[in-house]
Amino acid sequence: MKKKKNTDKLLSFLLLVLFGVVVCIALFPIFSLIVASFSPASDLMRYGLTAELFLSPINVENYLSVFGSEGGQYWKWYINSLIISAVLIVLSLFFSSMVGYALALYEFKGKRLIFVIVLLVLMIPFEILMLPLFRLVVTTQLVDTYFAVILPLIVAPVAVFFFRQYAVGLPKELMDSGRIDGCTEFGIFFKIMAPLMLPSFAAMAILQGLSSWNNFLWPLLVLRSNDMFTLPVGLATLLTPYGNNYSLLFSGSVLSVIPIIILFLFFQRFFIAGLTAGGVKG
């Protein structure tokens, strides 16, 4: 018995060590980025990205350049990304949840066909869909606008599938109770079912926000002017054959992580609260 306990402790210790190694490997790029953001641009050109932290050359000039006159364009990109991500999260959660809810709890003609189409689109890489979407944006004359980035991504197949799978487990008896009380179908969704779907809203808000904030290829195609660039596209323009602004690139990249951290911390609270909220009493 004692030998078995020692074996279990050894296995637990080895698993914890393995987990710690994996976490360190995952955090290494972030640590290197933070170190680079405090290093002079000359050192970055000479040594490249490194995890070695030298205290003597550490300075905050890179961050001062972001908040100074040199970072004026950077904050335009930052605001563009914030606006696009915020609007996209709200609209995506609104429309995708309603579509997934309808596919899960309502019976109508073509329901299975629509769900099959959602699954097919889900399996098609976005790179294949970019050409018809780009032609649609050009035809509607939305190039170089916020709508060009937002509209094609509002109803994401992965969000529809996620909400549909979550809504399948909701009790239909609550819908009947709402109808008896004179509640409309929209009222049933917003007042009764949506609160029960709070964990799914929180999870998809994090995923959609992360996807929108890091989206590079689609904004690169539909945005033209420098003032309309999102943060990933704008930071990429700092690396050119004629000169590289590493000081603004690395410090700006570190600051770009802040909204994602805030988004995760904010919706994580609602996610945990939603797991214990609502339910049917027997």
Domain of 96, CATH number, reads 1.10.3720.10
**Cα pseudo-dihedral 245, 247, 250, 251, rounded to 10:** -130
Judged against a pLDDT cut of 70, whether residue 278 lies above it is answered with no
- The tens digit of pLDDT for each residue in 161-217 reads 989 988 888 888 888 888 888 888 898 899 889 888 888 898 889 889 999 999 999
* Residue where one domain finishes, among candidates 15, 34, 59: 59
pLDDT at 183: 86
Does 64 reside within a domain? no
- Judge if 22 and 93 occupy the same domain: no
Same-domain pairing of 183 and 102 = yes
Same structural domain, 88 and 175:
yes
Residue 201 included in any domain: yes
Bridge partner residues of 239 (DSSP): 244
Count CB-CB contacts under 10 A for residue 39: 24
Residues 55 and 74 in one domain: no
Instruction: Find, among 87, 92, 155, the residue nearest to 121 by Cα.
Output: 155
- Shared domain for 102 and 168, answered yes or no, is yes
- Residue 127 has what pLDDT? 85
Which of 13, 35, 59 lies at the terminal end of a domain, its last residue? 59
Same domain, 31 and 77: no
pLDDT at 43: 66
13 inside domain: yes
Q: Domain ends where: 40, 59, 78? A: 59
pLDDT tens digits along 210-256: 999 999 999 999 999 988 999 999 988 887 766 667 778 888 888 88
- Answer positive or negative: Cα dihedral of 156, 162, 168, 172: negative
Domain that holds residue 177: 70-276
The runs of H, that is alpha helices, within the chain are 2-37, 41-47, 61-67, 72-105, 111-123, 126-139, 146-150, 157-167, 173-180, 185-187, 194-196, 198-214, 217-222, 231-236, 246-256, 258-276
User: Is residue 113, in this structure, part of any structural domain at all?
Assistant: yes
Say if CB 49 and CB 32 are below 8 A apart. Answer: yes
pLDDT of residue 91: 94
Question: Is 223 in contact with 148 (CB distance < 8 Å)?
Answer: yes
Quick one: 213 and 106 in the same domain? yes
For residues 119-143, average pLDDT:
89
Give me the pLDDT at residue 92, please: 93
CA-to-CA separations, 256 to 63, 74, 182, in angstroms, rounded: 12, 10, 48
Q: Are residues 75 and 55 in the same domain?
A: no
pLDDT at 62: 77
**Is residue 160 included in any domain, yes or no?**
yes
Q: Are residues 122 and 198 in the same domain?
A: yes
pLDDT at position 54 is 54
pLDDT score recorded for residue 125: 87
User: What's the CA gap between 94 and 90, in Å, rounded?
Assistant: 6
Q: Kindly state whether residue 281 falls inside one of the protein's structural domains.
A: no
Handedness of CA 105, 111, 114, 118 (dihedral sign): positive
Residue 281 has what pLDDT?
40
282 in a domain, yes or no? Answer: no
How many structural domains does the chain have?
Answer: 2
**Which residues are bridge partners to 243 per DSSP?**
240
Task: Give 18-71 pLDDT, tens digit per residue.
Answer: 988 888 888 888 887 787 777 776 666 666 666 555 554 567 777 877 887 666
CA distances from 195 to 30, 98, 152, 187 (A): 36, 13, 27, 12
pLDDT at position 35: 79
Q: Is residue 209 part of a domain?
A: yes
What separation, in Å, do the N-terminal and C-terminal C-alpha atoms of the chain show? 44
pLDDT for residue 279 = 41
Same domain, 54 and 77: no
Residue 3's pLDDT band, with cuts at 50, 70 and 90, is low
Cβ neighbour number for residue 214 with a 10 Å cutoff: 14
**Sign of the CA dihedral 245, 251, 254, 258?**
negative
Whether residue 222 sits in one domain with residue 107 = yes
Q: Are residues 163 and 213 in the same domain?
A: yes
Predicted local distance difference test score (pLDDT) of residue 101: 92
pLDDT of residue 78: 92
